[in-house]
Amino acid sequence: MQIIGRNAEIAILKELLQSKSPELLAIYGRRRVGKTFLIKTFFQEQIVFSCIGQYKCGIKEQLANFCENLHTYFPDLKWKTVTSWQQAFLQLRDGLLSLKTTQKHVIFFDELPWLSSRKSGFLPAFSYFWNAYASDMPNIIVVICGAAASWIIDKVVNDRGGLHNRITKRIRLLPFTLKEVKEYLEHKNIRYEHYELLQLYMVMGGIPAYLNEIKRGKSIAQNIEAICFSKDGLLTGEFDNLYAALFDASENHIRVIHALAKKNNGLTRAEIASTSTLMTGGTLTKVLSELTQSGFIEKVYPLGKKEKDSLYILTDEFSLFYFRFMRQHSTFEQNQWLSLQSSASYKSWCGYAFENICIKHIIQIKQALQIGSVYSQSSSWVFKGDKNRGGAQIDLLIERADNIINICEIKCSNKPFVINKRYYTELQEKLRVFRRESGIRKSALLTFISTYGVADNDYKYQLVDSEVTMEDLFK
């Protein structure tokens, strides 16, 4: 098996292998993003013990699984029946001490939040195992993994007890970029044009497990139809399973996602509380934190706004696609997706989904603008206007340390985008409103980010200072 992409993560894993000290790695990221595959593939020759948590099981079942793995990895040792995690980790210690080689040994705990079931005593026993034994073994790498990112961060990374400051490395595994999606599919001998790959990304994001369902010889539309709109499609029942497997009381998380799916421009905390029927306070704070840390939503700060005006936006492509199309079309009729592509809602969704992709590929955009080495901050901006002044909205601003601010217009189309007289006038007004109301004194450059570029005409030459195309996002 070959690891596609993940260059930064591989560099960290190589560093662990070269370390002369014991290492404790925490790796987390949303469901199906490839955490287990990355660890098992990279460390396939070093893993000496592995155990995975079982979903919604108590300590008895988890201990039985743990002991079964002890028998598998250390068959020559005599094992006693264990009734607690303290005893289980003592036996793991004995197994590690029986290893004669001095090469790096990797211990892998997958789905740690499931292993540490309520009142099981797993975390205290694990922290004692690390502090008393593993931390004195210079050839040991302990890897803890989980899809519930907020649990890993709160209970382990930010622990104030026995695991305080014990994590030596951490990896937050993100979905593939567009470039990595292309490389992944080409590794499977599946090749599409960039615009088709962009459409695929709008539906599935860069989730390897979803992309693995793409079948060679079918169009992107045919694949989406089979995966999302057929009774046996992988993503047909994925939405409910996705959140239920990650969060307790996941209905609260789904309410927030549903509210954000209706509002392309995002919602403030107060608006979410009102729209999603969630009370403000601890419950909402916890839900927003968990969704943010797991990569489903993002908190953004509009230019010049205060903390209370910060916005939460839905950034998970599949969740947005589900609420826009799949939720309303669950009867599994043939050619549903092909018919939906001619609807007005499809065009609206394409525009927002492309904006979302651009924000996730801000590094590629900066490189295309040749400002990759210039410090900058990305934000949005909105002026609602009043009875005397018209409003304006800018979805992406790049405020640079060299006294420049890029005002980005993002357009998705299946051909070069044409700036006509009406749109030219709208852009002029938007720029005037921004200069007047934002208070920014930096030089403003109008940047177009589009799929196939902006068609040449006089309006383009008068207004557009720089361009980024779909091709740049794949670099």
Q: How many CA atoms lie within 13 A of 167 on its CB side?
A: 21
pLDDT at 276: 67
Which whole number is the average pLDDT over 357-365? 96
> Residue 155 has which token pair?
């209970």
Q: What is the pLDDT of residues 131-168, one digit of tens each?
A: 999 999 999 999 999 988 888 888 888 888 888 889 99
Three-class SS of residue 40? helix
pLDDT at 301: 86
Q: State yes or no: pLDDT of 181 exceeds 90.
A: yes
Q: Which spans in 373-417 are helix H?
A: none
Question: Residue 117's closest CA among 56, 31, 160?
Answer: 56
Q: State yes or no: pLDDT of 390 exceeds 90.
A: no
pLDDT at 279: 65
- At the top level of CATH, which class does the domain 361-473 belong to? alpha beta
Which whole number is the average pLDDT over 378-387? 86
Instruction: Let me know: does 179 contact 4? Beta carbons within 8 Å.
Output: no
Q: What are phi and psi of 210, to 5 degrees?
A: -70, -45
Which whole number is the average pLDDT over 433-447? 92
pLDDT at 387: 75
pLDDT at 439: 86
Q: What is the pLDDT of residues 94-119, one digit of tens each?
A: 999 999 888 999 999 999 999 998 88
Superfamily grouping for domain 7-172: P-loop containing nucleotide triphosphate hydrolases (3.40.50.300)
Question: Residue 288's closest CA among 313, 263, 321, 320?
Answer: 313
Cα–Cα distance, 330 to 343 (Å, whole number): 17
pLDDT at 330: 66
Q: What's the Cα-to-Cα distance from 101 to each of 47, 139, 223, rounded to whole Å? A: 13, 9, 48
Three-class SS of residue 394? strand
Q: What is the pLDDT of residues 311-360, one digit of tens each?
A: 999 999 999 999 999 988 766 777 888 888 888 889 999 999 999 999 99
Q: State yes or no: pLDDT of 304 exceeds 80.
A: no
Residue 109 vs residue 281, higher pLDDT: 109
Which percentage of the chain shows pLDDT scores above 70?
99
Sign for the CA dihedral angle at 90, 95, 100, 101 comes to negative
Instruction: Let me know: does 25 contact 143? Beta carbons within 8 Å.
Output: yes
> Residue 57 has which token pair?
């099981």
Which whole number is the average pLDDT over 445-457? 97
Ordered by start, the domain boundaries in the chain are: 7-172, 178-236+330-355, 240-323, 361-473
Which whole number is the average pLDDT over 168-180? 96
Three-class SS of residue 328? coil
Q: What is the pLDDT of residues 230-256, one digit of tens each?
A: 989 999 989 988 998 888 889 999 999
Residue 305 vs residue 460, higher pLDDT: 460
Instruction: Band the pLDDT of 288: cuts 50, 70, 90.
Output: very high
Cα–Cα distance, 31 to 242 (Å, whole number): 7
- The position carrying tokens 């990221």 is 29
- The average confidence (pLDDT) of the chain is 92
Q: State yes or no: pLDDT of 278 exceeds 70.
A: no
- The position carrying tokens 């992988």 is 234
Cα–Cα distance, 475 to 472 (Å, whole number): 6
Centre a 10 Å sphere on the Cβ of residue 288 and count the other Cβ atoms it contains: 19
CATH number at 240-323: 1.10.10.10
Q: What is the pLDDT of residues 13-43, one digit of tens each?
A: 999 999 999 999 999 998 899 999 999 999 9
Residue type present at position 98: S
Which whole number is the average pLDDT over 45-56? 94
Burial (0-12, 13-18, 19+ Cβ within 10 Å), 344: exposed
Which H helix or E strand runs over 393?
Answer: strand 392-400
Per-residue DSSP letter, 343:
S
- The position carrying tokens 């497997």 is 245
Residue 352 vs residue 386, higher pLDDT: 352
Centre a 10 Å sphere on the Cβ of residue 174 and count the other Cβ atoms it contains: 18
Question: Residue 352's closest CA among 324, 392, 311?
Answer: 324
